[in-house]
Structure formats: structure tokens, C-alpha cells
Structure 1
Amino acid sequence: MATTVGPQVTEHGGGVWGIRVPIPDNPLGHTLVHVLDTDRGPVLIDTGWDDPASWDELSGGLAALGTSVADVHGVVITHHHPDHHGLSERVREESGAWIAMHAADAAVVRRTREAEPGTWLDYLAHKLSAVGAPDEHTAPLRAARASGRLRTLPGLSSALPDREIVPGELLDLAGRRLRGIWTPGHTPGHVCLHLEEEHPAQLPGHGRLFSGDHLLPGITPHIGLYEDPDDATVTDPLGDYLDSLERIGRLGVAEVLPAHQHAFTDAGGRVRELLDHHEERLTGLLGLLATPLTPWQLAVRMEWNRPWEQIPYGSRNIAVSEAEAHLRRLVKLGRAEAVPGTEPVAYRAV
């Protein structure tokens, strides 16, 4: 089904290629940037991390295909995270390409660009304190706020898109049928992209799916809270993700082309595995919540890929956000509740 064009490039047939674009200092290793040939020129699905080595690999991968960044006609972004959207502005500057993104993630990009630099650190420090983080954990955030180091964080000046990916509609790609499927969960505006064309190797199923981070063959994406300092709406990202998984499972695609790891078949089987995984995890958390716990205390006790003591500082913040997302799901399902009068708020199984 796939052939290697060069060390970083894989041909998937039918005018589709994948380029391995490295993510610096990240265990994921690389983002798979997909190239889709159209009658108006190549279109990229995601662009990779904004880093000189990543740019070189993206440029080199396109050169191996007999094209260049300057020839890129458009950029379709699955979601706003910097390992997917980081190089989009530079691609647009070099080529004049348009950039398309779902409105919900475009709003995140716009909000981040317009925010006063210290807003995010203030919000995060307050939020972590509210969920039970100890003072020694929030102290570095306050120190960073005082020193102005926020400006060095990735994603603060991400490219604003020119076009909107409208769920259920075909994108305007000459000679191709690519439909946007809204799959919130990993981010509020994450999209998968359904290539509604016969599989080039005649595999059974309905076309191919560029799945971004929504559906990966061997890992589960992070599902945390949708962060918006100005919005007090109680969202349910894990519920959104599980609903989105079921929607993708019903497509019956022949092959999945994810943004990490490798292409795979049997999307329906992988969806079932992930649904089962999250149900098992929710059930396990109920056991922990036999004793009331704050979200921080729950995160410390949850099972991660390493002991809590070995989890880096920034990853602990991500872990707490994931614990909160699971708590919200349990509360919405009526399987857990907040304990009245607790500060920070603790939760218990019902």
C-alpha cells in the first residue's frame, strides 16, 4: 500500500504522500505531514513544528517529490497545536498558499495572538491552585510571569487561517473530494478529513481518512480541558471525543493516514479499542474516588506512562487537565459528584 520515496517520504498512492517532519525534543519524534496532489498544485495537510530542522525536512521532502514549498497551493490544518500548525505561516509566506482551519480552533489561534502576554500564566496559575496544586507547583508560573518568559512559548503567533473548514462540506480542492469531519476532543476544532475516492490498492471500504491526532494506531491522544480564560462554560471534551470516535467509526474507511506513527486499516476496530479503553479508565477512576479527591490528587494517583515523580513539570499540567476532563465526564454521567463545602473542590464516586 505504501512505498518509500526517500528516508523521510512515503508514497501512499493516488496522489498522496507522507513527509516525516521532526518535532524537536519530543518522544513522538515527528509529525506526518501529508501532501495531496490537486489540479492547482500540492496541498499540505498540516505543516509540522516551527523549527529550522523541521523546515529543512519539509522542504527536502517536497523536493524529493519534484516540487517545492513555493508550489504549495493550500494548507489544511487538522488542529491548532504547534506540531501541526507551526510552519503554516512560513509556508504561506513562501508560496502564497491559503490556510484552512475549523472555526473553533481559529478562535483559539486568534485569542492566543491577541492576549496580553501574561494572561495565560495568570490563568494557569489560578486554575491549578483551584484544583489543588501545591504552592511549589504554581511558584514557577508566577516567576515566569514576573520575568516575561511567556514570550518564548510556542504557538503565541500562529498563523491566522484564510479559510474555514465547514463540517460536512467538501473543501475547494480542484480534482479531489476531501470532506471535513468535525471531531472535537483533542482540541475544540479538531477535524479529520475524508478523502472520498476509491482506494488506490482497492482495499475494501469508503476512501481514506486523514485523522490528525484523533485516531492513532498505537497511542491515545491527550484529552484535556478546552482552555479559554474568558469562557466559564463547563465543556465535556472527553464526551466530545467519544462521540467523535463513534462518528468516525461509522464512516467505514479503507485506510487511516494519521499525523503520527503510521498508516493503518481497520479504523472500526481501533475505534472500539479506544472506546473500551476510556470506559475502563473511567471505571478505574471511580475506584480511586471512593475517597474524595481534588483533580490534582486524582492526577497524582492515576496511571500514566511513568511514575508521577518522573513526570516533567509541564506534563503534570497536561495530566491534571486530563484528570479534570475525566471528572467532568463522570459528573455528566451521574457517576461522580462534587463534595459540598470542599475548597479546593473534591469529587467522589456516586
Structure 2
Amino acid sequence: MKSLRRPYSEQRPTDIGGGVWSVPVPIPGNPLGYTLIYAIESPAGPVLVDAGWNHPDAWLALRDGLAATGMDIREVRGVVVTHFHADHAGLAGQVRQESGAWIAMHEADAELVGTMREAEEDAQRTERAGMLRRAGAGAAEIEAVTTAYRPEPPAAPDRTLRDGDMIDIPGRRLRTVWTPGHTPGHVCLHLEDADRLFTGDHVLPGITPHIGVYPYDRTDMDPLGDFLASLEKVAELGPLEALPAHEWIFQDTAERARAIGAHHEEKLTSLVALLAEAGEPLTIWEIASRMTWKRSWDDLPSMLRGMAAAEAAAHLRALEVRGRVRRTAEGDPKEDMVRFTVHS
């Protein structure tokens, strides 16, 4: 698919009709470039879908972008966060401080935010190191990933959402559609009075969201399985206009959702073939290093290798749930590493 994504320097606040505006907010130092924040007009003040990265440049872009649409950030009624990631929830707390707005988030992500805000950094670093070691990462990679910069957790929400909940916007019908996968509490938002769907990171027009397992060796969750089910759930809503958080607005959410699902099914098939060809149990790190990524494994910095391993782990977990692969205890038990092989 040819990319229609324009650089942030070419982005402007845009009236997309029906009382909805898009406001691009930069993500400094990130190849995604920006997050598209949406402002929905209402008689009681605008409601934002996401808020952007917590950075002074992002704050100015949000404040001034809203002003360019005729809205005042001090009059924002609420912020609905599609998921807890920093490029979506980072500025929600500052918007609340400026305007008194409420912040709403799905209860699953709200629980994660609470855990993140209570956890001590040293304990988190130790946990990440253990996760990487069990996956088969080397000492240098472990050091690089565990010491990398991580943004502060976002502000805790005032309101928690469940699937089907209506958002508090006078005169509009905005319904919560729980779409776990990218995060446990990711939500899309169906603007029922306009046949539009705010898709967050769940359905994007040119790229696919990161689906990972953290820690890599968890067996109590299946995020890729959740994601695939969520794609079908969104597809069943019909060919709605998609208002995503990145890239560009596009038509027919259902068609794109099914295409993303097919992409992951192909990836799962390739992963089974990779393990069969190996002929021996492999660690998560070894598997990730043999998978196909947009850049070669040797060219991936340690942080991106860590994310690739998480994505490999999510695909392995989905295959494990389907009975296609299994974990094995083969190898030196002192290594305490997780290995996978094709289920016989």
C-alpha cells in the first residue's frame, strides 16, 4: 500500500465535518511523527479523543491547534483515552489541570496505569531484566533495554469504561467498543450519529499496531488472539469511516480490519514453518531474530529488538493456545530460558 502519510510539518487542524475536528500533535523523536487528536463539539464544551505525548511542543500544538478551530482548551469537557500509551494519554492530565475536564479510560487500562504509578523503577528494571534473560537476550541487550528512557505513567482516569458504555457528550451518541489486543483496555469509539469509528491504534490504514506479551513468557493472556477477535468485532460494525490516531482518515474500517487479520494469519503460518525448519527448540530471542521485520535483525537497535521479541512472543502464545506449538524444558535447566517447538 502506498503511504498517504504526510510529515508533521505539513499537518494542520482540519474540519472533517459533522462537528468533528482533527488536530495533529507531534511525538518528538518518534518515526510515527504525530498523533491525530480528535475534538468533538458539544454545547457543553468539546470532548477530545486522546490527548497526545506529554512534551512542551505537543502541549503547544494541542492548545494552539484547538484555538485554530475556535475551541479553547480551558473549555474542554472531557478526554476519552483510547489506550494508556504515552502518545495517546500523555497530555490528558495537563488538559484536566487546565480545564477541569474528566478523563475516561477502559477499566483494564486504568488498572494497568494504577499499577505503573505504584511500581518502583528499580523493581520494574529487575523484572524487565529477568524477562529478557529468560527470552534468551544477551547481557548487552539486557542492559540497553532496561536502562532505556521510559515516559512517566499517564494520569489516572476519573471515569472507567466498559464495552458498550456511552460517552458523556450532550447531543451526540458515542459508544465504547472494547477492542483488546494492542493493550488490554484499548477501545474504539463508535460515533453512531455519523457512522464513524475512532479507531485509536486498533485499525490503522497503512501499518499494524504492536501486539506484544509482557513479560514475554506469560501464559495467562493471549493478546494476539484478543486482537484478532477484536478486529472481527469491528468488522461486524460495517464499512464505517475510520478516524485513526495515526496516518490518515480512510473509508471502510471493516475491509481494513479483515486485511490486518489476514496479515497476522500469514505471519502465524510462517512462524510454524520457521519452527519446523529449525528442528530443535528455540528461545524467543532466537525465533525473533529469524522472523521477517521491516529492517534486518542486525540493523535493529536493542529497544526495537525487545519489541520484536514481545511480538514474537504474542504470536507464539496464540499458536500455543491453538495447539500448534508447545513450550519445552529441553536445554540446560540452569539457563531458565523459555523455548518453543512445533507441537507433535
Write the letter of the residue equivalent to 2:237: L
Per the TM alignment, residue 81 of structure 1 is displaced from its structure 2 partner at its CA by 0.2
Matching residue of 2:52: 48
Matching residue of 1:190: 186
- Of 232, 235, 246, 2:232 maps to 246
- 1:169 and 1:58 mapped to 2: Cα distance? 27
- Of 325, 328, 335, 1:339 maps to 328
- Of 287, 291, 305, 1:298 maps to 287
Runs of at least 5 residues in structure 2 that lack an aligned partner in the other structure: 1-9
- 1:121 and 1:65 mapped to 2: Cα distance? 43
Matching residue of 1:283: 269
Matching residue of 1:203: none
Match status 1:180 vs 2:176: yes
Q: Is the 1:170–1:178 Cα contact (8 Å) retained in structure 2? A: yes
- 2:11 and 2:341 mapped to 1: Cα distance? 51
Q: Deviations over 1:70-99 (max 9, x none)?
A: 010100000000000000111011000000
SS of aligned partner of 1:100: strand
- 1:325 and 1:252 mapped to 2: Cα distance? 28
Match status 1:107 vs 2:111: yes
- Of 312, 324, 331, 2:313 maps to 324
SS of aligned partner of 2:189: strand
CA 1:141–1:19 in structure 2 vs 1: closer, same or farther (change >3 Å)?
closer
Write the letter of the residue equivalent to 1:210: F
Percentage of identical aligned residues: 50
Q: TM-score, with normalisation over the residues of structure 2?
A: 0.91
Q: TM-score, with normalisation over the residues of structure 1?
A: 0.90
Matching residue of 1:274: 260
Per the TM alignment, residue 228 of structure 1 is displaced from its structure 2 partner at its CA by 10
- Of 2, 12, 36, 1:8 maps to 12
Matching residue of 1:258: 244
Which aligned segments of 4 or more residues in structure 1 are displaced greater than 4 angstroms? 226-229
CA 1:141–1:169 in structure 2 vs 1: closer, same or farther (change >3 Å)?
closer
Per the TM alignment, residue 295 of structure 1 is displaced from its structure 2 partner at its CA by 0.6
1:42-121 aligned within 5 A: 42-121=46-125
Match status 1:215 vs 2:203: yes
Two-structure CA RMSD over aligned residues (Å): 1.7
CA 1:165–1:41 in structure 2 vs 1: closer, same or farther (change >3 Å)?
same
Per the TM alignment, residue 233 of structure 1 is displaced from its structure 2 partner at its CA by 5.4
CA 1:70–1:228 in structure 2 vs 1: closer, same or farther (change >3 Å)?
farther
Write the letter of the residue equivalent to 1:208: R
The number of equivalent residue pairs is 327
Write the letter of the residue equivalent to 1:30: Y
Runs of at least 5 residues in structure 1 that lack an aligned partner in the other structure: 1-5, 145-149, 199-206
- 2:330 and 2:216 mapped to 1: Cα distance? 26
Q: Is the 2:131–2:215 Cα contact (8 Å) retained in structure 1? A: no
Matching residue of 1:311: 300
- 2:240 and 2:84 mapped to 1: Cα distance? 26
CA 1:253–1:176 in structure 2 vs 1: closer, same or farther (change >3 Å)?
farther
SS of aligned partner of 1:168: coil
Q: Is the 2:239–2:255 Cα contact (8 Å) retained in structure 1? A: no
Q: Deviations over 1:195-214 (max 9, x none)?
A: 0013xxxxxxxx10000000
- 2:123 and 2:113 mapped to 1: Cα distance? 15
